[in-house]
Structure 1
Amino acid sequence: MYHSPTAEAEIAEELTAVRPALLGRYAAALQGARAAVLTRLWRALVHEPLPWITGRAADAEGRTLRLADGRALRGPHSDPYATGDHVRTLWLDRERYDDPARLMTDLAVPHAAAFATELAGSVASLALSRANAEASGEEWPAHDWEWEQRVVDGHPYHPNCRSRPGFSVADQLAYGPEHRPVVWLGTVAVPASECLVSGDWPEELRAGGDLLLPVHPWQAAHVLKRSAEPWRAAHPLMALRTLAVPGGPHVKTALSARLTSSVRDISVYSVKASATLSSFATELAARTDGLLHVTRALGAATARSPDLAAQLRESPETYAGPGERVVPVAALAATELPRSAEWMTAFTRLALTTGLRLLDLGVALEAHGQNLLVVLGADGAPLRLVYRDLADIRISPERLARHGITPPALTGRLISDDVNVLRHKLFGSLVAGALAATAGSGPALAAALRGALPHLSRTPDLAALCDEPLPAKALTLMRLSPETPGDQWAALPHPFVLERDAYGQ
């Protein structure tokens, strides 16, 4: 079979030079990595509104997609909420495919060539991540960043789950959280008069009339192309460009590289809004009866450029009591915890109670598995939630006013009264994202929802969640339509519908 030789061979060649001991494990991981990316791609082809797919049919053996050019693409049934590597082979007419990049190349749809390159890189980087992974075991990590290091496969549903264009093997080993590195953050001095500051910028990061902006070493070398003064040792989190300083804050740095879908720089808008958003969210979280904490922004600064900016915020560990742990939801599946159907129902009830309460008040969280964390008791029971990174929430002034809450003094993309925008933001990230990935399948998600829903307050938002298809970002459609800005969406069959329909039609 053909297997994207360029990306896979390039990583093997670099490994020979920088970490030859991983070569055997890397080669052994490639087949599973292809299946993992192919599974995510097949999910997208079955469920996203791709314009060149003109028909979809199901029978007892699987799914058949009819392409606009008359060809047929066939594969197994697809549970849109399932995680894992269960798709090993697809058929395009009579040709067999086990490599996602080769399939995308041969589909030959608009922008397929560029996306195929990303898929090939995702496979090779995922194999590298798995080759260097450590078994998680049953022991709970002692530090917050160690939870993040357990997320080896990246995004559970994005075919670009490990796409890191511009990162060499040495870069991935040096900066990828799953490789467990220590990263030395540097600082770049910028005259304070040339900077925009939001909140309190610490004295430690001031020198005379200059602000010292924390800089990721990759950004310094590849984008700023200048040296940075060594500052603090830190541990990368799932976001890669956000790092935990031991005993100190989490530092979100600008990283002008495309990871999965987005370039991870920090806009001037985000810096300007940081302090206002933080104060507003902290006050709103107080209305959840202690179920939700929001990590506070400690300061943000930019040299009025998305390439040179940083944000400092509290560690989520601030909100852990004695014997408790704060765990990113994305890390739950990679950790041996006492999770049963009852646990999943309790977690779902906690997450929906909190998310829907804030939505009713006027804020839609982007509560995916990276932003949302759960506080676990010593017995593993889900107790409270912590939310971090407010950069992409949505705020409804109309809903806030309905509850007598003064809207924050903000304008721009964060503000919307559109009910679809608000519900898509929360339901797509929390239900079709964090909860689905934690449950691991449509039936498990449906069971958790059925157990949790009777305990939730009846609101129009809850009715929409129960009765309508679930929105999810159409991640592959977005990569294949770069001329269309902003989010695009798929309508996934509701887990309750999948319970009734064995073929998910």
Structure 2
Amino acid sequence: MYDSVTAEAGLAEELASVRPGLLPRYRAALPGARAAVLTRLWRALAYEPLPWISRRTGSGHGLVLRLADGRDLAGPPADPYATAGYVTSVRLGRERYDDPARLMTDLAVPHAAGFAAELAHSTASLALSRAGADPARSRPERDWEWEQRVTDGHPYHPNCRSRPGFSVADQLAYAPEHASVVELGTVPVAAERCLLSGEWPDELRYGGRLLLPVHPWQADHVLKRPYDPWRSAHPLMSLRTLALPGGPHVKTALSARLTSSVRDISRYSVEVAAALSEFATDLAGRTGGLLHITRTLGAVTAHSPDLAALLREPPAAYAGPGERVLPVAALPGTGLPGSPAWLAAFARLALTVGLRLLDLGVALEAHGQNLLVITSADGTPLRLVYRDLADIRISPARLTRHGVTPPPLTGRLVTDDETALRRKLFGSLVAGALAGTAGSAPALGAALAAALPALPDTPDLAVLREGPLPAKALTLMRLSPETPGDQWTALPNPLVLEPGTRDQ
């Protein structure tokens, strides 16, 4: 049986040996961490197409899920766009559950045991993240310090802080929320044995060899080989991408499962990096200066996803005097989204850019980690910065219709499927970045209602206005490992949604 108590106790035992002074704050953070993970799980149970839920009956007082085996699971009304940990317990039959891992174990559905273990790890790691947050970082001055403020990870994934394979010492040493400084190394590889896209700096060349930056965790646990010390860097939200002070961001191969996926850098990503960066930078010029794309400077792989690296411009390069560049995931900690007028202005800016590019033929994966907003000194949203092109989608048919020559690319980035294109943008931007910033269905609906009248009336906008909102079915994906790729659900349109009133 998997429950959070066991995972929490195990983490506490490790913490006692490496950072005992953090134990009181860790223990104090545990109830909130359980509620945060349970809230994310309850959202999934309420809205994802899970095959073992036969009926959902909701009212203003609560939501009851009828399971295929006849049991009832009851909890509070489910707001699909809420980010606060408002679900403190649910009832399966007559028993009360405040532990998401124990609930998943007792649901006893296919693959529940493995997912329960992940939930337990996510809960304990989330408490550690919150405990390690430094209250003194209330006014960041550097770009990576904004990213260190994000303690909770993905706003809607129950595995928001699941980091299997990372010990407590690893998390304290490498995770951004612990204000870590990571000592990157390099591994030399003969140039003829590498695939290079773009330029590679002289600093990372030696004789006829290319020096590939490596994360120390990767070198120790995956490559299992020595490496040469290189430079100190600050980890960003993605954990495997780090900021070099005064220099570029370095995306390293880090073959660890974070939330849902094992992260690495594929040969395909390296192969298309330079052409993709040039194309996206040119296309951003069609947004009237509202969007900047961080250019990929160079990418290298030793023909292995476990040994590769990518150098990218820092987003701060696009900020003018007196301006700030804020990752969207960090916005809830700034106080800015508390203003309905600010939230509407931000939604209008983000949708103007996202819909313009989608109409042209490019769907951004504009979630809160990839998307940043440039604000004036008084907080007014001015422009956007987008980083990491690895999962955008490109439509040759749409590009051609607008007189834009499609880039010379093939593979998974290229599709003319209308549903796939809209899912990519709406699922990441509206159900992800904007929803996570708004924090609730009423706030998101109000921001969209204020923003939409100012947007160009395109077929994509009509779908956004009238239809349900696509979102990745993150829990379904973890409970159906035999099904590759993304799976999706349809969330109630936030423009008309009344939370908690959904029957199925």
- Which bracket does the TM-score occupy, shorter chain normalised? over 0.9
Q: Give distance in 1, aligned partners of 2:54 and 2:141.
A: 51
Distance in 2 (CA, whole Å) between partners of 1:41 and 1:261 is 14
Matches of residues 271-420 of structure 1 in structure 2 within 5 Å? 271-337=270-336, 339-420=338-419
Aligned residue runs from structure 1 range 21-420, under 5 A? 21-135=21-135, 139=139, 141-337=140-336, 339-420=338-419
Looking at structure 2, the residues matched to 98 and 453 of structure 1 have their Cα atoms a distance apart, in angstroms, of 39
2:128 maps to amino acid: L
Q: Give the TM-score normalised by the residue count of structure 2.
A: 0.98
**Counterparts of 2:22 and 2:106 in 1: how far apart (Å)?**
32
- What is the SS of the residue equivalent to 1:495? coil
Distance 1:171 1:452 in 2: 43
Aligned twin of 1:503: 501
Deviation at 1:60, TM superposition (A): 3.7
* Aligned mates of 1:422, 1:282 — CA distance in 2: 19
Q: Distance in 1 between matches of 2:437 and 2:336?
A: 12
Runs of 5+ unmatched residues, structure 1: none
Runs of 4+ in 1 over 3 A off after TM superposition: 336-339
Question: C-alpha separation between the residues in 1 aligned to 2:465 and 2:3?
Answer: 42
In structure 2, runs of 5+ residues without a counterpart are none
Residues 176 and 236, structure 1, Cα contact 8 Å, conserved in 2: yes
Is the contact between residue 320 and residue 326 of structure 1 (CA under 8 Å) also seen in structure 2?
A: yes
Distance (whole Å) between structure 2 residues aligned to residue 296 and residue 254 of structure 1: 19
Q: Distance in 1 between matches of 2:52 and 2:466?
A: 29
CA displacement at 1:24 relative to structure 2: 1.1
8 A contact 1:73–1:90 mirrored in 2:
yes
What is the TM-score of this pair, normalised by structure 1?
A: 0.98
What does the per-residue CA deviation read over 1:220-260, in whole Å, with 9 as the maximum and x for residues that have no partner? 00000011101010000000000000000000000000000
**Secondary structure, aligned partner of 2:255:** strand
Report the counterpart of residue 486 of structure 2 in structure 1. 487
2-structure distance, mates of 1:216, 1:171: 12
2: CA distance between counterparts of 1:279 and 1:247? 23
Distance in structure 2 (CA, Å) of the matches to 1:341 and 1:442: 13
Contact 1:183/1:234, CA 8 A, preserved across alignment? yes
Aligned to 2:153, the other structure's residue is in SS state coil
Residue 503 of structure 1: how far off its partner (Å) = 2.4
Q: Give the partner amino acid of 1:144.
A: D
- Note the alpha carbon deviations across 1:159-210, whole angstroms, 9 max, x for none: 0000000000000000000000110100000111110000001111011111
How many angstroms apart in 2 are the aligned matches of 1:497 and 1:480? 30
SS at match of 2:329: helix
* 1:102 partner SS: helix
Q: Tell me how far apart the structure 1 counterparts of residues 101 and 87 of structure 2 sit (CA, whole Å).
A: 14
Q: What secondary structure is seen at the aligned counterpart in 2 of 1:198?
A: strand
Q: Which amino acid letter does the alignment assign opposite residue 363 of structure 1?
A: V
Aligned-residue Cα RMSD (Å) equals: 1.2
Report how far residue 502 of structure 1 moved: 6.1
Counterpart secondary structure, 2:297: strand
- Given that 2:56 and 2:502 are in contact with CA atoms closer than 8 Å, whether structure 1 keeps it comes out as no
Counterpart code for 2:299: A
Q: Distance in 2 between matches of 1:240 and 1:332?
A: 19
Deviations 1:133-154 (A, max 9, x none): 1226753x11100000000011
| Partner SS, residue 496 of structure 2 | helix
The Cα of 1:334 is off from its aligned counterpart by 1.7
Q: SS where residue 303 of structure 2 aligns?
A: strand
Amino acid at match of 1:146: E
1:438 alignment partner in structure 2: 437
SS in 1 for 2:122: helix
Q: Secondary structure at the match of 1:454?
A: helix
Aligned residues: 502
CA contact (8 A) 1:374 1:386 kept: yes
Q: CA deviation at 1:9?
A: 1.2
Q: Does the C-alpha gap of structure 1 residues 379 and 463 become closer, same or farther in structure 2, counting only changes over 3 Å?
A: same
Task: Give the AA of the match of 1:356.
Answer: L
Letter matched to residue 39 of structure 2: T
| Alpha-carbon separation, structure 2, partners of 1:135 and 1:156 | 21
1:339 to partner: Cα distance:
4.6
Alignment deviations for residues 318-360 of structure 1 (CA, whole Å, 9 cap, x no partner): 0000000111000001224485111001000000000000000
How many Å separate the matches in 2 of 1:4 and 1:243?
Answer: 31
Seen in structure 2, the aligned counterparts of structure 1 residues 110 and 136 have a Cα distance that, compared at 3 Å, is: farther
Alignment partner, residue 422 of structure 1: 421
SS of the residue 1:486 aligns to: coil
Find the aligned partners of 2:351 and 2:122 in 1 and give their Cα distance: 32
The separation in 1 between residues aligned to 2:137 and 2:215, in whole angstroms, is 31
Distance (Å, rounded) in 2 between the aligned partners of 1:80 and 1:339? 19
SS at match of 2:74: strand
Q: Distance between the aligned counterparts of 1:202 and 1:270, measured in 2? A: 19
Structure 1 residues 284-309: Cα deviation after superposition (integer angstroms, max 9, x where no partner): 00000000000000000000000000
> Aligned with 1:256: secondary structure?
coil
User: Partners of 1:203 and 1:394 in 2: how far apart?
Assistant: 33
SS in 1 for 2:21: helix
Question: Does the CA-based 8 Å contact 1:136-1:150 persist in structure 2?
Answer: no
Question: For the Cα contact (< 8 Å) 2:150–2:329, is it kept in 1?
Answer: yes
Paired residue secondary structure (2:407): coil
Looking at structure 1, the residues matched to 52 and 286 of structure 2 have their Cα atoms a distance apart, in angstroms, of 46
By how many angstroms is 1:497 displaced?
A: 2.2
CA contact (8 A) 1:64 1:75 kept: yes
Q: Percent identity?
A: 74
**Which secondary structure state, in structure 2, belongs to the residue aligned with residue 164 of structure 1?**
coil
Three-state SS of the structure 2 residue aligned to 1:476 is helix
CA deviation vs aligned residue, 1:431-488 (integer Å, no higher than 9, x gap): 0100011011111111111111110000000000000000000000000011111110
Confirm or deny: 8 A CA contact 2:37 2:123 kept in the other structure: yes
Q: Secondary structure at the match of 2:367?
A: coil
Report Cα offsets for 1:379-418 as digits up to 9, x if no partner. 1000000000000000000000001111111111100000
Code of the residue aligned with 1:110 in structure 2: it is: P
The letter of the residue matching 2:386 is Y
CA distance in 2, matches of 1:455, 1:61: 36
Aligned equivalents of 1:266, 1:373: Cα separation in 2: 22
Shift of 1:61: 2.0
Deviation, 1:6, is: 2.6
